[in-house]
Copies of this chain bind each other. A is one copy, B any other.
């Protein structure tokens, strides 16, 4: 890289948790600087946020449309290279479309759009504009998740037979959406979140994690969605049986009413030769089990890790890394792609979730809802 990439941000104003996460992740490695933003649909709040971030007031906009126009009007030496979209998913499509068509690359929070229809349309726009589009399925940024994927790819597990993934949380055990908790309010509102709460918000992370590690594609699934909290409009618990193409089986559970669980995403993958296990809350450890040998705990920063892990790691062994570093890995890899695009270099293989992952994620969500509504019958994955 010859210079830092210039990032603009849509959303993520004062009080928004995920905006701060994206900013830390983006700038952690010194390759990206935040130079512009439309941090809120309320221009006053947007400006206040820009001030907190020490931005040039001239680059803080009252709306994303204004920002797209304003930045496009700047000279190539000044204007942003890409935009980071950190609003709720309802507005992703319109924002992403606007910036892509204005010539900017896009990094976008998940889920990609409001529904599958929009996701498919966005995919066409990405293809047509040829811009970089990265989706922050951040859990795939963890080094030991990448190591898990490598172990599968290199055949260390043999043929994959079974995938068990879980994502239990407990924060929605009470109807806090009625007590003004904003995070809960939009996620449980079908007009804002779409067809699903629990599966859309966290189930898709588990789905993406399984796909990222194993490469398996879902053939059909059988889902049981439940709304435990009275009066809630979308499901807060999901239990799903999965059949993969090729015969492997899966179980995926997600829950927001599992009291006492914080963010306990975990996955186990069983193959004919070995199995592996990873827990998000202890992310530096990858457990590998063989039929005739002791259980192994692989850790980052060691010579026995694959090269891919080395590239996704900033610290030596025993110096733990965590959520923000994994998130930053998504940005770092997207930045490689954007820098290649900016510099006119040949496209390489990149390791970040793409628009296609977003489409697959929403196909999963909508198939789950369909299966559950059909009184939980086996349902083929909706074609994308």
Contact = CB atoms under 8 A, between A and B. Distances in A.
Interface of A: 3-4, 17, 20-21, 23-24, 27-30, 34, 53-54, 161-162, 164, 166, 168-170, 173, 222, 224, 226, 228, 237, 239, 241, 243, 247, 249, 251, 253, 255, 257-264, 268, 270-275, 280-284, 288-299, 301-304, 314-325, 375-378
A378 B222 CA distance: 10
The listed residue with most B CB atoms (<10 A of its CB), out of A251, A282, A298, A318, is A318
Contacts of A241: 222, 224, 239, 241, 376
A161 B30 contact: no
A21 B255 contact: no
A280 to B, nearest CB: 8
A169 B270 CA distance: 11
A69 B173 CA distance: 61
A262 to B, nearest CB: 3
Contact of A237 (B162, B224, B304): B162
A248 B30 CA distance: 46
Contacts of A321: 322-324
A39 to B, nearest CB: 13
22 contacts: A24-B28, A27-B27, A162-B237, A162-B258, A173-B272, A173-B291, A222-B224, A258-B270, A258-B275, A259-B275, A259-B289, A259-B291, A260-B274, A260-B291, A262-B316, A280-B318, A281-B320, A282-B320, A283-B320, A295-B296, A297-B297, A377-B377
A281 B281 contact: no
A259 B288 contact: no
A141 B365 CA distance: 40
Given A4-B54, A293-B304, 17 more contacts: A3-B54, A23-B30, A24-B30, A24-B314, A162-B255, A222-B224, A222-B241, A258-B270, A259-B274, A260-B274, A260-B291, A263-B317, A288-B294, A294-B304, A295-B299, A375-B378, A376-B378
Nearest to A321: B322
Nearest to A288: B294
Contacts of A263: 316-319
A284 to B, nearest CB: 7
Contact of A260 (B24, B224, B275): B275
A168 B317 CA distance: 13
A11 to B, nearest CB: 16
Nearest to A243: B224
A128 to B, nearest CB: 33
Nearest to A300: B262
Contacts of A271: 259
Contacts of A222: 222, 224, 241, 376
A115 to B, nearest CB: 26
Pairs of residues from A and B, 6 with the lowest C-beta to C-beta distance, nearest first: A260-B289, A263-B318, A262-B318, A322-B322, A320-B322, A294-B296
Contact of A292 (B53, B280, B290, B302): B302
